[in-house]
Structure 1
C-alpha cells in the first residue's frame, strides 16, 4: 500500500486500512513515511500496532503479517494539510514508484494506493501526466494499462482516458475498442463474472441518429462490437450514452464501455461516490485505488469514509488470486535497491509507451 497525497485524506485512509480488520488481512506492506502514517492515525483516532522497518532492514527476513517500510521522505511538519504542495507530490510519486517496482519484482501481488493529487505530483515531477503513463515508464511496460471504475452494480470500462475531449474522436479506432472489450471480458471473468455482459456506449448523440450526428458509431464502434460478438463475447451496442447506464442499473449489463473519461465517470460517481473503485489493469499485477479524490476540504478532520478504500483492497486481493493462478515469477532484486531507485530524484525514466 502506497500512501498517497499527504495534504489530503490519504494518510488518514491509510491508517484506517491498517486499523480495520476487514481491510487488513495481515498481508500489507505499507510504503511511505512513518511520521505521516502516525499523523493519519491521529486524525483518524485509531491506534496502530504495525512493525516499522527502515531502508537498512528491508533485505533481512521480513516480519510475518503486515508491516511498514519507512522511506522517511515526508516530514508532516513541512507539508500543509488542505492543499497541494511539491513536498506532498514528491512523496506520493516516490511511494507509488516504490510500490510498483517492488510488486513488479515479485515482492508483492497487488499495488494499492490511497488518493493522489496530480497537480501536486506535477509540482514535483513536471512530466507526470497520469497513473498509466507513470506505470508504463516505471516498470517498462510492453503495453499500456486500461482504467476501470467498479461498483457492485456495474463496472465502467473506457476506450480513452486522460486526453482532451477534442481528441477523443480521433483516438477511438475499431481495433482499440475491440481490444478494450476483450480485456474487459478477461478481467471481469477473473473477478468472478462467468460471462460478463457489456453495453457499449455510443460516441455521438442518439448513437449518430442514422449518421445525422456523426459517423463514428456506424463506421468504428459497430464493427468492433460485431467482431467481439462473433468471438462469443456478450456485447451490445453502440447504445446512446444517455440511456446505457439506465439499462445497466436495471440489470441488462454487468459493464458499460464508454468512449471517454467523463462519459462514464459522471454516471459512476453519481451512483456510488463513496463506494467506487478505480482498477488499472493489463499489467502483470492489478493496481487499485478508491475512485474518489484527496478531499482537501476535510483533510485532518477524521471524516474520511473508508468504504471505497475497503472495496479497493478487497477487489485487489480477488484479482491478485487470478494473477497467481497464471503463475507469477519468484521475487527478484533486492528491496533496498528498488526503494533506493524509487527515491532517486535524478533517475532517468523511459517515456511512456503509446
Structure 2
C-alpha cells in the first residue's frame, strides 16, 4: 500500500538567529512526529549548535535524500553544507548567512517540485541577510513562487489559533495600497484562503472581507471603494458558492472573528490585519505562504537577534507552524494519492 504519511521538510533558518535553538526544542516533542516523515535539512555544525543552546541532545539518522525518509519511523537529518562555522556569529546580518538560507530552501523547493516533499516548515529568516546573500525578490514568498513556477495569485496568511487572515497587498508603501484594491485581487484572495482553510482541516470555513476606508466608507462619504469594488467582489464570490461576507468596518470585524463568528478575514493592506493579529497573540502566530503548490509555514516572529544564543527562545509559534504544515501536508498527500489512484 502506498504510504499515506506526508514528508515534511524542516529548516534551521538564519544561522545567526534563534532558529537552530527553536528546531532543537521542536524535535524534543516526539508526539509531533508520529504520523509524518520529517526531514531536517541543514549544516551539521549548526544543528549541533542549536542543540547546545537549547540544552537538548538528539540523535537523528542521516539520510542522503528526501525519499529515504520513508524508510524511517522518526525524524531524519539530511546534511547540507551551506555555510562554514566561522563565517557567521550570533546576531549578525551577513551575506554568508543569507546565502546559507537560500541554498537550504532551494534544496527543499527542488524536492517539492520533484514530488518528494509535501510541506515545508522553516525557522525564522532575516530578509536583509538574504538580500545581501543574493535574494533578488521582494521577500521569501516571491522567491518561493518563482522557484515553484507559480503564475497565479499568491499571498501570505497570518494565523492565530483558528483565526486566519489574508491580504490583497503586502510589502508596499501605504500610499500605494488603494491601487491594489481591485475586484480581481479581492476575489482571488477570498477564494485562496477558503481553499487553504479546507486543506488545513476546516470543514466549512467562514470568511469575512474587511472594508478599506474608515467606518466602511460611511455610505460613500468617506471613500467609495466599498461600494464600487469590495461589495461587488463579495457578491461575485457568493455567486460562485463561497461563504464570503462583507465588507465590514476594519475596526470591528476582528472583534467578531475573535468571538468565533468567522474563521478568516481578507484585509485590504498589510498592517490592517497584522496589527490586530499580533495584538491578539503575537507570541503564538504563524505565517502560511498561500497560493503555492505545497504548504509552507513559519513562525510569525523574526530571528530575535537580541536573544540569539541565550537559550531563551519560545518554541510555541514554531510548534504551531509545524503542526499546520503537517495538517496541510497530510491533506495534500491524500489528494495526490487519490489523483494517482493509489
Instruction: Tell me by how many angstroms 1:125 deviates.
Output: 1.1
The answer to whether residue 183 in structure 2 is matched with residue 174 in structure 1 is yes
**TM-aligned CA deviation for residue 113 of structure 1:** 0.3
* 8 Å CA contact 1:174, 1:220 repeated in 2: yes
| Normalised TM-score (structure 1) | 0.87
Q: 1:76 aligns with which of 76, 79, 85?
A: 85
RMSD: 1.9
Which of 233, 254, 264 aligns to 1:245? It is: 254
On the 8 A contact 1:201/1:256 being kept in 2, the answer is yes
* 1:7 to 2:16 alignment: yes
| 1:262 counterpart = 2:280 | no
From 268, 271, 276, the equivalent of 2:280 is: 271
Aligned equivalents of 1:312 and 1:61: distance in 2? 24
Q: In the alignment, what sits opposite 2:308?
A: 299
Residue in structure 1 matched with residue 56 of structure 2 by the alignment: 46
User: Aligned pair count?
Assistant: 327
Structure 2 CA distance for partners of 1:126 and 1:149, relative to 1, 3 Å: closer
Query: For 1:83, what is the secondary structure of its paired residue?
Result: coil
Candidates 117, 125, 150, aligned match of 2:126 = 117
| Secondary structure in structure 2 of the residue aligned to 1:29 | strand
Q: Does the C-alpha gap of structure 1 residues 211 and 262 become closer, same or farther in structure 2, counting only changes over 3 Å?
A: same
Q: Scaled by the length of structure 2, what TM-score is found?
A: 0.90
Question: Equivalent residue of 1:274, what SS?
Answer: helix
Q: Report the Cα offset of residue 144 of structure 1.
A: 4.3
Q: Which runs of 5+ in 1 are unaligned?
A: 331-354
**Structure 1 position 193, deviation (Å):** 2.0
Q: What is residue 196 of structure 1 aligned with on the other side?
A: 205
* Counterpart mapping for 1:93-132 below 5 A: 93-132=102-141
Q: Following TM superposition, where does structure 1 have runs of at least 4 consecutive aligned residues deviating by more than 3 angstroms?
A: 22-26, 57-63
User: In 2, Cα distance between the equivalents of 1:59 and 1:100?
Assistant: 11
The residue number in structure 1 matching 2:5 is: none
User: CA offsets, 1:158-213, max 9 Å, x none?
Assistant: 11122222221112210111121112111112222222111111111111112222
Could you say what secondary structure the match of 2:32 adopts? coil
| Corresponding residue to 1:29 among 33, 36, 39 | 39
**Paired residue for 1:159?**
168
Q: Deviations over 1:48-100 (max 9, x none)?
A: 111234xxx44995551321121111223321102311111111111111111
Which runs of 5 or more structure 2 residues have no equivalent in the other structure?
1-9
Could you tell me which of 233, 239, 250 is aligned with 1:230? Answer: 239
Could you list the per-position Cα deviations for residues 20-64 of structure 1 after superposition, in whole angstroms to 9, with x for gaps in the alignment? 2133446211111110111111001100111234xxx44995551
Q: Which residue of 1 aligns with 2:193?
A: 184
Cα offset, 1:233, TM superposition: 2.2
| Structure 1 residue 280 corresponds to structure 2 residue 289 | yes
